[in-house]
Amino acid sequence: MTHSHIVTLLTNPAKPTLDPALVDSLRNAWGGGEARWLSVDEAAEFGIPQVPGNAEEIWASLQDQRVDLVILPAEGRRKKMLLADMDSTMIQQECIDELAAEAGVGPRVAEITARAMNGELDFEGALIERVGLLAGLDEAIIDHVLKTRITHMPGGRALLATMKANGAYAALVSGGFISFTARVAADLGFDENRANTLLTENGKLTGKVGMPILGREAKVQALEEITARLGLSDTDVLAVGDGANDLGMLTRAGTGVALHAKPSVQAQCDVRINHGDLTALLYVQGYTRGDFAA
């Protein structure tokens, strides 16, 4: 029997609780092929002849068990390019919120960020407003925030190392700031990074951002420009993000992953990872834990 699609089930690697009985019962219910364990107790996959009609209901029921369910076409699962958002995707924070906390305007900025990422506010206007609240902040605070407040999302290093070891290109595209993306990109091994510029004068933030602002459309533009340059197509791209400004690239890419994303973003994405970490992006491409590059 030919399997047109692959079902991947995965859980949080920090607390791997994927029950073999669950994998088998779903496989039997959907007429699936033999299960292949990608990582013991953590991730498994099996082929199916077609996408089942009750896939969405099963996805919802598995959320209560802290299990992610992803169904992708069997053909072309391994991608040649990673296009990633930074804030709350490759790192666990929103850089602007961390800068605002240092400036004493944390709660106000965090509220605007949350609404903008959920698509309730215009991204560009919300960014201009938030950056305005940082006016007068010492430029050295950026380095301080990077050192003391920014942590990588679990699994990011393995994701980058493994995809790059298999010939993929990696680009970091952020509605945040180049002073942060440059460091994160260098730390994790991205090939290039794009973001906004915080303008400074006499060692202090002016409260203005360089124009044009890199928002939703610029992320789509990055996908178009980089694939054209590398001779790739949209289908070769794995994109990952969590906010409304990521939706353009997530829906364009061959595989668009909503990672621990806002509800409005999840509603528009087929691939949603709510329990796994960034290594989930390797499992959905068929990599096993043993395939991970150091």
Domains and CATH numbers, the chain: 1-75 (3.30.70.260)
Residue type, 169: Y
**Residue 2 has what pLDDT?**
84
Residue type, 159: L
The answer to whether 153 and 89 are in contact (CB under 8 A) is: yes
The span from the CA of 160 to the CA of 172, in Å, is: 11
CA dihedral 7, 12, 15, 18 (to 10 degrees): -10
Going from the C-alpha of 6 to that of each of 52, 185, 240, the distances in angstroms are 12, 31, 19
Tokens of 29: 């219910």
SS3 state of residue 192: strand
Longest C-alpha distance within the chain, in Å?
A: 68
Burial of 186 from C-beta contacts in 10 A (0-12 / 13-18 / 19+): exposed
The span from the CA of 72 to the CA of 240, in Å, is: 15
For residue 123, the 8-state DSSP code is H
Tokens of 292: 């991970």
Given a cut of 50, the residues of the chain with pLDDT beneath it are none
Which neighbouring-strand residues pair with 259? 273
The span from the CA of 114 to the CA of 229, in Å, is: 34
Task: Supply φ then ψ for residue 198, to 5 degrees.
Answer: -80, 120
**Residue 294 has what pLDDT?**
72
Catalytic positions, please? 85, 87
pLDDT tens-digit readout, 115-131: 999 999 999 999 999 99
Going from the C-alpha of 83 to that of each of 6, 35, 40, 291, the distances in angstroms are 22, 30, 28, 21
**Residue 69 CA to chain centroid, in angstroms?**
16
The answer to whether 172 and 194 are in contact (CB under 8 A) is: yes
